[in-house]
């Protein structure tokens, strides 16, 4: 198989796998740490309107979802890639970072969470995922 095609498939697989992990963690978050009373987490609009009710503990699972989703997605992309494994992992990290940045503009989460999430959960996790995959360049 052509290495460019294999690398493209690796990126797509990393994004899909990382997104599934992210969604899975988000789905279990409310059963582990219940949302605040009166918070509507079923829609983006409801979440946006009730974000002011959230306490720091409510941001743990979203951070973990972003970080672990990116880590595993980058790991998978690096493992599946034919060449340039580090680049494939970083592309997955950058694409998840773009998604995280869009969320910052859509939701009014506290600045401390936005900064921590954008600085720690994406590019560093992509690099760790690449290293865990065997850190071939």
pLDDT value of residue 136: 59
pLDDT of residue 21: 98
Under DSSP, the state recorded for 53 is G
Q: How far apart are CA 126 and CA 124, in angstroms?
A: 5
Q: What is the pLDDT of residue 86?
A: 96
Residue ranges of E strands in 1-116: none
Backbone φ, ψ for residue 71 (5° rounding): -55, -50
Give me the mean pLDDT over the 110-130 stretch: 96
Contact present, 73 and 96 (Cβ < 8 Å) = yes
Q: Kindly report the CA angle at 34 between 113 and 111, in degrees rounded to 5?
A: 10
> Whole-structure pTM over 0.75, yes or no?
yes
Across 42-46, 53-57, 72-76, least confident range: 42-46
Mean pLDDT throughout 83-99?
97
Residue 47 confidence (pLDDT): 82
Higher pLDDT, 41 or 85: 85
């Amino acid at each position: 198989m052509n290495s460019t095609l294999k690398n493209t498939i690796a990126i797509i697989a990393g994004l899909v796998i990382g997104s599934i992990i992210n969604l899975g963690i988000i789905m279990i978050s409310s059963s582990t740490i219940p949302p605040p009373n009166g918070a509507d987490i079923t829609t983006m609009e409801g979440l946006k309107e009730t974000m002011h009710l959230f306490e720091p503990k409510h941001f743990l699972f979203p951070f973990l979802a972003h970080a672990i989703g990116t880590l595993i997605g980058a790991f998978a992309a690096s493992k599946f890639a034919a060449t340039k494994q580090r680049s494939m992992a970083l592309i997955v990290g950058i694409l998840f970072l773009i998604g995280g940045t869009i969320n910052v503009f859509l939701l009014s989460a506290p600045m401390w969470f936005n900064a921590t999430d954008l600085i720690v959960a994406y590019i560093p996790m992509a690099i760790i995922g690449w290293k865990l995959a065997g850190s071939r360049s």
